[in-house]
Structure 1
Amino acid sequence: MAKLVQFDRLGGPEVLTLRDVESRAPGAGEVRIRVDAIGLNRAEIMYREGAYFYQPVFPSTLGYEAAGVVEATGEGVTDLAEGDLVAVVPAFLQTEYGTYGESVVLPASAVVPRPANVDATTAAAVWMAYTTAYGPLVESGRVRPGDHVLITAASSSVGLAAIQIARHIGAIPIATTRGAGKKQRLLDAGAADVIVTDDEDLPARIEEITGGEGVRLAFDPIAGPGVETIAQGIAPGGHLVVYGALDPRTTPLPNAQSFPALNSSTYTLFEITSDPERLRRAVAFVNAGLASGSFTPVVDKTFDLADIAEAHRYMEANGQVGKIVVTVTHDDTTS
């Protein structure tokens, strides 16, 4: 038996229940891992509420990220073995698999080795954030050394990862935050400049920072009408990449009569994680950065698995800078 978080109806954090369930053997192409830490994501809140792009099948578990140790492998799995230190990449549907538990079965294609010098809490904070930022900043080839990159809602785990990746490839990250309270923390995290959107005019500040050139790429999880303001700060021929929908209002396509010509697109990390070759490159890139110390995930706060509902409430309060991680204690802990 192992503890697993499940829910039977849509709703707030209170619907999450920690239950004892029977552990199962992994099937063909699957592995079972003992979970030591779980990374939380807003996608899981949306999934729990019924606002995600697919609906739960009850009773449902949830969770995209974790780190731990391989307990068993299924038929056909040859690149992972019992005892391997691993992390979990978001590369599956939560209707089929989840990471919120003490011991979970996952597709082997979503389980990757982690560097020996990276502990479980750090590894659980990596893959959603860094893979999401890797796609538009690295895999696409759109960002070059010396380019300015606008990173909105930059205090999120993805935003902080994007700052580090931009710095790593020689680009110049400009971060935004609504209030001044997070400005210094974003500067400390590596942002070249921080624009406080409640107090400052975004296009004007971008023009000032870039010397009138604009940003080569804007990386935005908010969407909604605000993209029209962002578009005013993008260089001609630059890119607006929307990777989230924090603003539920309709997102307009920037008007070519009002702004310089630009390329506008949506993006999800599944473009990387569902393609084996792209995922191989992403894993190599991120693990190299972790091993060298260039990438250091920011963990805002940790919770125990028994406090999973409280961890979701904390995320919903929107006060964190970086990742929220849930740790799992085992009687025979070795991680």
Structure 2
Amino acid sequence: MKAVLMTEAGEAEVLQLQEVPDPTIEKDTEILVRLHAAGINPIDTKLRGRGTFYPDKMPAILGCDGAGVVEAVGDAVQRFQVGDEVYFCCGGLGAKLGNYAQKAVVDEHFVAKKPASLNFAEAAAAPLVLITAWEALYERGRLEPREKTLIHAGAGGVGHVAIQLAKLKGADVCTTVSSEEKAEFVRELGADQVIFYKETDFVQATLDWTGGEGVDLAFDTIGGETFYKTFPAVRVYGDVVTILEPDPAYINWKTARSRNLRISFELMLTPMLQGLVEAQQHQAEILEQCATWIDEGSLKIRLSKTFPLVEAAAAHKMLEAGSVTGKIALVID
């Protein structure tokens, strides 16, 4: 099969389309998927630039997100049959082959039926961001109906899904954006309050929106100084969830401590990295519920751009350039 190999850590040019052996089913609960698309995520560009989690297993095939058609099943597979359309987040971290390829082998318990209303590229763009936003808001942040939440970068890959999941929970949403075009986009998703962070102090704007009290939950998808600046925008005894590792250059926990904030970290890759089977099964259940909402029309995935598999390097460059609205994906012939 054809696959994009990461030959070494470095710039986007280290991604090269090559011919590699087809993956084969080795466990009786695995399925072979003929991939039609793969999602592009920031973790892909980070691993390409700095090296994978498993540097002794090079070259690597990146890509955690995939969507395609089941081509073969193991003897014990019960949930899928040949011809089923599926989507999933599995592999691509360096130990297991990723989805920048024509085929992938995945355990059936980590896979969900593809939303019928999405094409393969849209479906492949969805899993990692759906799981991340779900876990951050519902599980780490314990978001409840009628609560107020601040979601940073609401027009981004994780952010645009988080807005919708928060609204599905019955919460009020405030979000930060950089342009009027993105503001229009997040309003269409249901955002109640939009803050242009380049022109406005988002902390003061959030306090004004909440009558000076602060939001119940803040979801940080940016990191760096933004993470620490967010603390005073959260109510006393409120929650802050971040998907980034705090930058020691900005460490100042005084405000968080004085407000008794609960700080949580969200890394949806943990189950894969630590081999937590039940947690991976739970993530597949999240995808199943999200597929229902997508097909009902209450949850949308914005796919801004697609690239053919051979242009994976160009896709990485676009993502690293920043300001992508929604997601981008690779289309696989």
User: TM over 0.5: same fold?
Assistant: yes
Cα gap change, 1:237 to 1:183, in 2 (>3 Å): same
- 1:203 matched to 2:203: yes
Q: Kindly indicate whether the alpha-carbon contact (under 8 Å) linking 1:272 and 1:278 is maintained by their aligned counterparts in 2.
A: no
Q: Which residue of 2 aligns with 1:333?
A: none
1:215-253 alpha-carbon deviations (Å, 9 max, x no partner): 1111112222332210000011111111125x8554525
Q: Kindly indicate whether the alpha-carbon contact (under 8 Å) linking 2:53 and 2:93 is maintained by their aligned counterparts in 1.
A: no
- 1:322 matched to 2:323: no
Which secondary structure does the structure 1 equivalent of 2:125 belong to? coil
Which secondary structure does the structure 2 equivalent of 1:105 belong to? strand
Which secondary structure does the structure 2 equivalent of 1:205 belong to? helix
Q: Residue 206 of structure 1: CA displacement?
A: 0.5
* TM-score (ref. length: structure 2): 0.90
Q: Which amino acid aligns with 2:80?
A: L
Q: Which residue of 2 aligns with 1:155?
A: 155
Q: Which amino acid aligns with 2:65?
A: E
Structure 1 residues 1-335: aligned runs within 5 Å: 2-28=1-27, 29-50=29-50, 55=55, 57-90=57-90, 93-140=93-140, 142-178=142-178, 182-245=182-245, 250=249, 252=251, 254-256=253-255, 259-270=258-269, 274=276, 275-276=279-280, 278-279=282-283, 281-329=285-333
1:248-292 alpha-carbon deviations (Å, 9 max, x no partner): 554525215874221012111145774156335413421221121
Q: Residue 75 of structure 1: CA displacement?
A: 4.2
1:107-141 alpha-carbon deviations (Å, 9 max, x no partner): 33332212333321221121111110101222357
* TM-score (ref. length: structure 1): 0.89
Q: Which amino acid aligns with 2:17?
A: L
Q: Kindly indicate whether the alpha-carbon contact (under 8 Å) linking 1:47 and 1:54 is maintained by their aligned counterparts in 2.
A: no
Larger RCO, structure (CA 8 Å, separation 6 or more): 2
Q: Which amino acid aligns with 1:264?
A: I
1:281-305 alpha-carbon deviations (Å, 9 max, x no partner): 4134212211211111001111111
Cα gap change, 1:69 to 1:22, in 2 (>3 Å): same
Q: Kindly indicate whether the alpha-carbon contact (under 8 Å) linking 2:47 and 2:93 is maintained by their aligned counterparts in 1.
A: no
Cα gap change, 1:55 to 1:107, in 2 (>3 Å): farther
Q: Kindly indicate whether the alpha-carbon contact (under 8 Å) linking 2:32 and 2:104 is maintained by their aligned counterparts in 1.
A: yes
Which secondary structure does the structure 1 equivalent of 2:203 belong to? helix
Q: Kindly indicate whether the alpha-carbon contact (under 8 Å) linking 1:64 and 1:94 is maintained by their aligned counterparts in 2.
A: no
Range with bigger deviation, 161-170 or 105-114? 105-114
Q: Kindly indicate whether the alpha-carbon contact (under 8 Å) linking 1:6 and 1:61 is maintained by their aligned counterparts in 2.
A: yes
Q: Give structure 1 stretches of 5+ with no counterpart.
A: 330-335
Q: Kindly indicate whether the alpha-carbon contact (under 8 Å) linking 1:50 and 1:56 is maintained by their aligned counterparts in 2.
A: no
Which secondary structure does the structure 2 equivalent of 1:136 belong to? helix
Range with bigger deviation, 209-218 or 23-32? 23-32
Cα gap change, 1:248 to 1:75, in 2 (>3 Å): farther
Matches of 1:257 and 1:159, distance apart in 2: 23
Q: Residue 35 of structure 1: CA displacement?
A: 0.8
Which secondary structure does the structure 2 equivalent of 1:173 belong to? strand
Q: Which amino acid aligns with 1:218?
A: A
Q: Kindly indicate whether the alpha-carbon contact (under 8 Å) linking 1:33 and 1:103 is maintained by their aligned counterparts in 2.
A: yes
Q: Which amino acid aligns with 1:12?
A: E
Range with bigger deviation, 295-304 or 16-25? 16-25
Q: Kindly indicate whether the alpha-carbon contact (under 8 Å) linking 2:31 and 2:74 is maintained by their aligned counterparts in 1.
A: yes
Q: Kindly indicate whether the alpha-carbon contact (under 8 Å) linking 1:206 and 1:214 is maintained by their aligned counterparts in 2.
A: yes
Q: Kindly indicate whether the alpha-carbon contact (under 8 Å) linking 2:141 and 2:241 is maintained by their aligned counterparts in 1.
A: no
Range with bigger deviation, 295-304 or 29-38? 29-38
Matches of 1:53 and 1:221, distance apart in 2: 22
Q: Kindly indicate whether the alpha-carbon contact (under 8 Å) linking 1:151 and 1:176 is maintained by their aligned counterparts in 2.
A: yes
Cα gap change, 1:292 to 1:267, in 2 (>3 Å): same
Q: Kindly indicate whether the alpha-carbon contact (under 8 Å) linking 1:133 and 1:162 is maintained by their aligned counterparts in 2.
A: yes
User: For the aligned residues, what is the CA RMSD?
Assistant: 2.3
Q: Give structure 2 stretches of 5+ with no counterpart.
A: none
Q: Which amino acid aligns with 2:296?
A: S
Among the aligned pairs, what percent are the same residue? Answer: 29
Q: Residue 314 of structure 1: CA displacement?
A: 0.9
Q: Kindly indicate whether the alpha-carbon contact (under 8 Å) linking 1:129 and 1:161 is maintained by their aligned counterparts in 2.
A: yes
Q: Kindly indicate whether the alpha-carbon contact (under 8 Å) linking 1:300 and 1:322 is maintained by their aligned counterparts in 2.
A: yes
Q: Residue 197 of structure 1: CA displacement?
A: 1.8
